[in-house]
Chains A and B, each alone.
Chain A
């Protein structure tokens, strides 16, 4: 029983690594893209002045 619980915890850990990793990478990518888009927008606005 204890051994199968440990198996289950580790199985959960393995899936959490992948799904968590993908989620955080995607989140980071989206935030970086938004930041660069905002900066580009302000640069273009400065240029247009």
Chain B
């Protein structure tokens, strides 16, 4: 059995239950935060979405670099797929954050360094997807997209450190400015890590499906080109 078939068969059965276990941990294991109340439970999916988006954009950068180096189409297909799923998760971050902020900060949006950088990162990878969708499919477009995919990932370390070194109101998640952990209760940390792992499985599954679709689409385009 090929690795592709194993992924096809097992990934839904890993990702689906993992998401249910994550929900169980969020709502039945993690305690309610005493200052913020139940709205703090958004945090688990918000942060996990952000980490998954970072993994997605990191995958774009690595596979884009491999594409530029080797010229193999499979790396380009994975880069394109990971960008799409990364943007999906980054959209979740940008939608769930304001719902939490409305209650805690009293406003939907603040031009805080972390929020602004995340919006810039999202815009960059949306540009990447637009280039892929409307720029045609020749080698030059693929190469320019790969450069954009590598360039975009530079925003991630800025987002991670901005909360510690730049003045802003976004809370630090695992490490506060004073060096303490942002999550005091170990059950909260457990819920966060379980959710992050569940999202990672979903990410791998979706990238696998999207890459498969791209491979089929490429095969079809090649057949059309061959037969006119």
Contact = CB atoms under 8 A, between A and B. Distances in A.
Nearest to A33: B213
Interface of A: 4, 6-8, 10-11, 13-15, 17-18, 21-22, 25-26, 29-30, 32-33, 36-37, 39-40, 43-44, 47
9 contacts: A4-B38, A11-B42, A14-B99, A18-B92, A22-B206, A33-B213, A40-B220, A43-B223, A44-B223
How big is chain B's contact interface, by range?
Answer: 20 to 34
A37 B210 contact: no
Contacts of A6: 103
A35 to B, nearest CB: 10
A40 B227 CA distance: 13
A43 B19 CA distance: 39
Contacts, number: 71
A16 to B, nearest CB: 10
A24 to B, nearest CB: 10
Interface of B: 37-39, 41-42, 45-46, 49, 88, 91-92, 95-96, 99-100, 102-103, 202, 206, 209-210, 212-213, 216-217, 219-220, 223-224, 227
B45 A21 contact: no
Nearest to B48: A18
A33 B39 contact: no
Task: Report which residue of A11, A26, A30, A37 has the largest number of chain B beta carbons within 10 angstroms of its beta carbon.
Answer: A11
B216 A40 contact: yes
A23 to B, nearest CB: 11
Nearest to B39: A7
A14 B223 contact: no
A13 B206 CA distance: 23
A37 B96 contact: no
A14 B219 CA distance: 39
Nearest to A26: B206
Nearest to A37: B216
